[in-house]
Structure formats: C-alpha cells, structure tokens
C-alpha cells in the first residue's frame, strides 16, 4: 500500500507529467491538495518540502509553490525512465498497471529523460556504462538458478568485468517490408537470397514513384551502419588480434561505403521517419522483433520480413537489438532495485512479452513455437546474431559513433576518415595498455 507521502508526491508528479502544471507554473495550494487527496495538511507540506529539496518544486514566500523550470533534468531515486514513451512500448501498459503493487513509490516518467532506474537500448548502455551499477550481485541474489535464461545475453553486457545492463529481451535484425507498398509501386519482393545490389535495385525502382521517406528510413544510427559493417565482414575492435583496431579494415570500409551509397540512391542525408514503418507508410526498414509488437499495437498487419541482404565476401550475421534495465550508481533503494530485477525477469512478464510478439524473451521457456513464417524467420536468425561490441569505453564508443555519423551524413573520403579514427583508437589503446610509444 502506498503511504500518504507517496500519494501526494505521485499526484503532483502526475500534474507535472501531464503538462497541467508546467515549468514555472504554480501548483495547487497545499491546503487544496490536502482536501482533494483526503490527506492531512502536514503530510502534504512534508511531501512538497521533500520535492523542493530534490529540485522539482520551488517555494516562493507568500506566493506559493511553483514547478521548477529545470525539473525534467532531475534524476530521482524513485523514478524510472524509458528511451521511448511508455505508451509506445507494447508492454508499457502492463508495466504501469502491475508495478505499483510491487514498488508503490516508483514513478514512471515520460518527461524526465533520466531516472535512477532506466530502460534503455544497447547504444545508451555503451555510451553511459560508467554511470551504471554492476548488476551481477543483484542478479545472483534474485535468481540463483539461471538455467532458464539466455545467459549469453548477460555476457554481452559485461564491460570491464561489470554487468552494466540487464537484458530482458533481445532480437536479431532483419529486413522488414510492406507488401502493399511494393505491389502498388511495381516493385517485386526480393528473393530470400537477395544481395545488396538487388536491394539497391528495389530502392531505385521505388524512387521513381515515391519520396525517400516512404522508401527506407535511412539515418546514421549505430544499429544501421553497424549492421552493414557486420554483413560486409567488418568490425570495430577485435581484442584478441595483434592489432585490435579494425575500423580501417577493407571490410569495415566496404560496409560503410555501401551504407552511404544507399543514402546517395535515396537522395536523403538523414531521416527522422523511424516510426513511419510502424504506421504502414514505408516500404523497407531494418528492424528487430520489437517492431512487430509496435506494428500489432498500431493495427498494421500488412508487413513481412526477409533476412538482411547478402554482401558478397561478407558474413551472414545480424546485429542484436536489446532492451535493458540499468540502475545508476546514485541508487540507494536496493529493495526497489531488487523488485525491478525480479519483475523484468519474472515468468509472468516474460510470457506477456511472448504474447505480444515483442522481441524474444530472455527466458527460454517464455517463447512458444509459432506457425507464422515471420516469427520463424526471427527464431532462425537468432542463431546468427552478433551481440558482443568490444567497446568497453564510453569515450571510445562516442568517438566512433560521432566520427562515423559525420562520415556517413557528409561526403568526406571514408578511407581517410576511418584512418583518422583508427589512429585515435590505437593511441587510446596503447595508453590504456601502458605500451610506451616507439614499441610494439
């Protein structure tokens, strides 16, 4: 049961989240809140005072209490944020309905980009790994028997010996397509063994009739270009190699060039249309099984999937898509943290994910066999998934992503650009390994 401080706090936070009380605006008087909530005035005043100390509210003597202009930038002990709006997560409603009974003090926020608890994708974990707790002790405390889990997914997020994110679902990436759009615009569906050149032919054919935003959602996001790099046989880092830096290898450069060629064919430098495929408005998109859940949520049924296009001389592999629970080092409520770990890995929640067809649950027993060939494709492609990133430094990850983003969105020579990035990576690795300059 929620205590009365929590009731007051969550009610005021709800006013702020909904926009009924925005930054700089006055909230209802404590006396009015007490009457509305049926709580004593002293309790309400104590709750508002705590929120003021946290930087959420600002008390102006003889005038009242106002929402802080910077309240969305606060990181609250009792707040969980998500990388996309909770209502866009097919499992978000289930979470918000069931979690209050387990963790009454928890506030699910859409307006605050960060909380002590965060649901994030892979790239966010890699960029912020030093800010998160090691979740291995919590995982061991909650689940001594891990035989029902895809434990290799846990291994993927060990950075510098720490489990910085707890994956609760994952998926390979495939090529999603809208059969209706292809048919209406005279574009045949590629065969399952199609190549990158075959894919570009489809793009050119569609370009005669459709704007770029309705053909493919091109952007320089890590998952897009890294998928192409892996398919070309490239990588960023190979720790066991004598020279671990592979960002300037021929295969990596080839993958980056192919992905930029796709931009040239589309005639589009950057796209912000990532949600349009989920709305049935785009012909092709590289996507994971998470998209399937959102298609279902949006009532879009006219879709299908193919393996990613082959790149001759490359590898038949797929970059994993993952959603993870992360907990910031500032966390002081370990009981709340433990409750969240138990919830996300529980049989009930994992089975709910399976029912939604939202990604692949981390529990093996949750995923039931399907006769839908689209589901079968995802299950088959899991065997090809690439999940180890080898960039244990957030500084390195940002450097690489920013550098490649500039290369792909611009027109600079990719060979020269990757040579510069590789040089910086090699210097970084030499320094971290303590190798003096002038020695191999």
* Residue 338 confidence (pLDDT): 96
Report pTM. 0.88
* Residue 13 confidence (pLDDT): 94
Number of domains in the chain: 2
Q: Which two tokens stand for residue 81?
A: 């944020």
Residue 247 lies inside a defined structural domain of this protein: no
Beta strands per DSSP E along 52-92: 57-60, 64-67, 79-82
CA 288 to chain centroid, in Å, comes to 11
* Residue 437 confidence (pLDDT): 59
Q: Are 65 and 144 found together in one domain? A: no
Of the residues 73, 91, 115, the one at which a domain ends: 73
Q: DSSP alpha helices (H): ranges in 268-318?
A: 289-297
Residue 262 lies inside a defined structural domain of this protein: no
* Residue 3 confidence (pLDDT): 84
User: What is the CB neighbour count within 10 angstroms for residue 399?
Assistant: 16
Of the residues 73, 99, 133, the one at which a domain ends: 73
* Residue 438 confidence (pLDDT): 59
d(CA 19, CA 25): 10
Residue 174 lies inside a defined structural domain of this protein: no
In terms of Cα–Cα distance, which of 272, 295, 278, 256 is closest to 212? 272
Environment class of 119 (CB within 10 Å of its CB; exposed 0-12, middle 13-18, buried 19+): buried
Quick check: 232 and 252 in contact, CB under 8 A? yes
* 321-327/117-121 β-pairing: antiparallel
* Residue 184 confidence (pLDDT): 97
Of the residues 342, 365, 388, the one at which a domain ends: 365
Which sign does the torsion angle of CA 339, 340, 343, 344 carry?
Answer: negative
Residue 107 maps to which CATH number?
Answer: 3.40.190.10
* Residue 78 confidence (pLDDT): 86
Q: Are 145 and 91 found together in one domain? A: yes
d(CA 362, CA 341): 13
Residue 15 lies inside a defined structural domain of this protein: yes
Beta strands per DSSP E along 14-159: 57-60, 64-67, 79-82, 107-109, 117-121, 158-159
* Residue 274 confidence (pLDDT): 62
Q: Are 54 and 22 found together in one domain? A: yes
Residue 67 maps to which CATH number?
Answer: 1.10.10.10
Q: DSSP alpha helices (H): ranges in 345-393?
A: 347-356, 373-381
Residue 294 lies inside a defined structural domain of this protein: no
Burial 83-113 (b: 16+ CB within 10 A, else e): ebebeebbbbebbeeebbeebebbbbbbebe
In terms of Cα–Cα distance, which of 75, 87, 86 is closest to 114? 75
d(CA 14, CA 8): 10
d(CA 61, CA 38): 25
* Domain encompassing residue 351: 79-167+322-365
Q: Are 52 and 108 found together in one domain? A: no
* Residue 430 confidence (pLDDT): 79
Residue 229 lies inside a defined structural domain of this protein: no
Residue 341 lies inside a defined structural domain of this protein: yes
Q: Are 163 and 83 found together in one domain? A: yes
Residue 373 lies inside a defined structural domain of this protein: no
pLDDT digits (tens), the chain, 440 positions? 568 888 999 999 999 999 999 999 999 999 999 999 999 999 999 999 999 999 999 999 889 999 999 999 999 998 999 999 999 999 999 999 999 989 988 999 999 999 999 999 998 998 899 999 999 999 999 999 999 999 989 988 998 889 999 999 999 999 999 999 999 999 999 999 999 999 999 999 999 999 999 999 898 888 899 999 999 999 998 888 888 899 999 999 999 999 999 999 998 656 555 678 988 999 999 999 998 888 888 888 899 999 999 999 999 998 999 999 999 999 999 999 999 999 999 999 999 999 998 999 999 999 888 888 888 899 889 888 887 766 778 888 888 889 999 999 999 999 999 999 999 888 888 777 666 655 55
Q: Are 84 and 160 found together in one domain? A: yes
DSSP three-state, residue 245: strand
Q: Are 39 and 111 found together in one domain? A: no
Q: Are 23 and 102 found together in one domain? A: no
d(CA 210, CA 181): 10
* Residue 156 confidence (pLDDT): 85
């Amino acid at each position: 049961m929620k205590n009365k401080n929590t009731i007051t706090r969550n009610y005021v936070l709800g006013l702020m989240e909904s926009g009924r009380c925005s930054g700089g605006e006055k909230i209802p008087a404590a006396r009015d809140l007490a009457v509305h909530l049926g709580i004593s005035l002293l309790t309400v005043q104590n709750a508002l005072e705590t929120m003021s100390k946290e930087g959420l509210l600002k008390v102006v003597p003889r005038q009242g209490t106002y929402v802080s202009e910077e309240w969305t930038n606060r990181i609250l002990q009792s707040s969980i944020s998500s990388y996309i709006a909770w209502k866009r997560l097919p499992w978000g409603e289930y979470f918000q309905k069931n979690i209050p009974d387990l963790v009454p003090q928890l506030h699910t926020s859409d307006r605050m980009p960060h909380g002590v608890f965060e649901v994030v994708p892979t790239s966010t974990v890699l960029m912020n790994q030093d800010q998160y707790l090691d979740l291995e002790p919590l995982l061991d405390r909650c689940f001594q028997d891990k035989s029902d889990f895809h434990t290799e997914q846990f291994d993927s997020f060990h950075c510098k010996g720490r489990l910085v994110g707890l994956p609760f679902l994952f998926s390979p990436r495939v090529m999603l397509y809208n059969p209706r759009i292809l048919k209406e615009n005279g574009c045949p569906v590629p065969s399952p063994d199609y190549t990158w050149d075959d894919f570009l032919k489809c793009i050119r054919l569609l370009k005669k009739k459709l704007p770029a935003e309705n053909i493919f959602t091109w952007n320089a996001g890590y998952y897009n270009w890294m998928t192409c790099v892996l398919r070309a046989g490239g990588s960023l880092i190979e720790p066991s190699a004598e020279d671990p830096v592979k960002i300037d290898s021929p295969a990596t450069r080839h993958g980056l060039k192919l992905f930029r060629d796709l931009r040239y064919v589309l005639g589009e430098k950057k796209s912000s249309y990532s949600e349009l495929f989920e709305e049935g408005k785009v012909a092709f998109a590289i996507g994971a099984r998470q998209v399937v859940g959102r298609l279902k949520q949006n009532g879009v049924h006219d879709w299908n999937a193919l393996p990613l296009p082959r790149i001759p001389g490359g590898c038949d592999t797929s970059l994993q898509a993952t959603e993870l629970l992360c907990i910031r080092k500032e966390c002081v409520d370990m009981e709340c943290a433990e409750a969240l770990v138990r919830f996300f890995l529980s049989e009930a929640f994992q089975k709910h994910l399976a029912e939604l067809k939202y990604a692949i649950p981390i529990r093996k027993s949750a995923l039931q066999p399907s006769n839908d060939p689209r589901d079968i494709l995802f299950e088959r492609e899991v065997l090809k998934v690439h999940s180890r990133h080898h960039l244990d430094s957030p500084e390195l990850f940002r450097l690489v992503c920013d550098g490649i983003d500039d290369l792909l969105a611009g027109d600079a020579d990719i060979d020269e650009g990757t040579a510069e990035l590789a040089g910086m990576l090699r210097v970084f690795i030499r320094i971290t390994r303590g190798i003096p300059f002038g020695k191999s």
